[in-house]
Amino acid sequence: MILGQIVCNSQRALTNDPARLYAATVVRSWLIVVGAVGIVTFAGCRQLAGIDNPITVDGSLALCYGTGLVQICFDAQPTGTIELAQDIDTASATCSSHVVSDAGSSACVVAGSSISLAAGARIRATGADPHVPLVLVGVTSITIAGTLDVAGHRDSSTTPAGGDYFACLNGTDAGDGTYGGGGQGGSFLDEGGDGGAGGGTVGGQAGSSLGNPETLHGGCNGHPGGNGGGTGGRGGGGVYLIAGTSISIEGRIDASGGGGGSATVVGAGGGAGGSGGAIGVDAPVVAISGAVCAIGGSGAAGSSTGPSAVGGDAAGGASACTAGDPGIADAGAGSGGLGALNGMAQNGYPGVTGGGGGGGGSSGYIRIDGARSGNGAVQPPG
């Protein structure tokens, strides 16, 4: 059953102006194609591979790209070789001046004949309100040899592209009291970890899983600890890569959640980890020798006598996905829970004469469409 179809009826290619490094596309309207069991490809969106004739959108011929969760149509074939060389703000003209969905969603689309990110380079994609995800479209290929970062970092004040998802199920917040409970982890693919009790005060109870997404969006934030406790970690963002021939990931794509914040008030609960976000990779040939990570951030410890240990952001190098260390508590307080890699996040630990630990964040979502090769890390498995 086809629920919808992405339609993009306006395209703007940026010039050689040095201040504008990307061939960007203005998306006037777009919907998602989702099947009841899987993804249904509509005839006319396969001409990227030379199979079908272009379809007609608003009386004009349109070229369509993508066979998975996201499919995008242009009124002219994207051109230009794009090397990603600076951070991307999905709410600014770096990508496009306006990317608007008729369903209340939007995406920043960067499109060209090919797209690359050089080894050793790290590009962060963030966005002020509205927090729109990032979509890369290469008519031929996309090569990610460096790090494409849409993760929710604890030490950053910026929101990852597609983050702060509006439809998260938040659960029940931690209780206040002499000793605050730990915050509950962000829930996405599964439930986040519950917060630990703080000296008898209840910890936060994680919200229900969102399951597999039907639209591209980021993950869910962790929640603060009770009694003025630590802040929750940000959920990971959302990014989708589409190419007509091949996608090679030799480096790292990271949409993991951020770790929970320290409880600085004596007796407060630890902040919880954010969930992983969403990553899509769609091409006839997909080679992964690096890492594709959308794992949960870990929870912070509760406080007993002073500021508590923070929860770790997701870790791992160019070929590994590893959860950050949870905050380890001093005597009397509860330690934080480990963020999820492939499975359930860990609950925070209870405190006795101190605050409870924050829960870990849930795994995010990864989808890979195409013939896959390589022994790189994909967590959770796509």
Residue 261 has which token pair?
Answer: 């914040």
> Amino acid identity, residue 316?
G
Cα separation, 37 vs 40, in Å, equals 9
| CB distance 360 to 284 below 8 Å | no
Tens of pLDDT along the chain (382 residues) come to 222 333 332 222 222 222 333 333 333 333 322 222 222 223 333 333 333 444 444 444 457 888 888 887 777 788 889 999 999 988 775 664 323 332 335 788 888 899 999 999 999 999 877 678 999 999 999 999 999 999 999 988 899 999 999 999 999 999 999 999 999 999 999 999 999 999 989 999 999 999 999 999 999 999 999 999 999 999 999 999 999 999 999 999 999 999 999 999 999 999 999 999 999 999 999 999 999 999 999 999 999 999 999 999 988 878 899 999 999 999 999 999 999 987 899 999 999 999 999 999 999 999 999 999 999 999 999 8
Beta bridge partners of 136: 110, 241
pLDDT for 94 equals: 64
CA angle 63, 68, 71 (to 5 degrees): 30
> Among residues 68, 64, 72, which one has the least CA distance to residue 214?
68
Residue with tokens 């480096």: 251
pLDDT for 17 equals: 29
pLDDT for 54 equals: 47
pLDDT for 120 equals: 94
Report pTM.
0.85
173 by DSSP, 3-state: which? coil
Burial 197-212 (b: 16+ CB within 10 A, else e): bbbebbbbbbbebbee
pLDDT for 250 equals: 97
| CB distance 114 to 144 below 8 Å | no
Cα separation, 269 vs 354, in Å, equals 8
Q: β-strands 60-65, 55-57: how paired?
A: antiparallel
Cα separation, 134 vs 59, in Å, equals 28
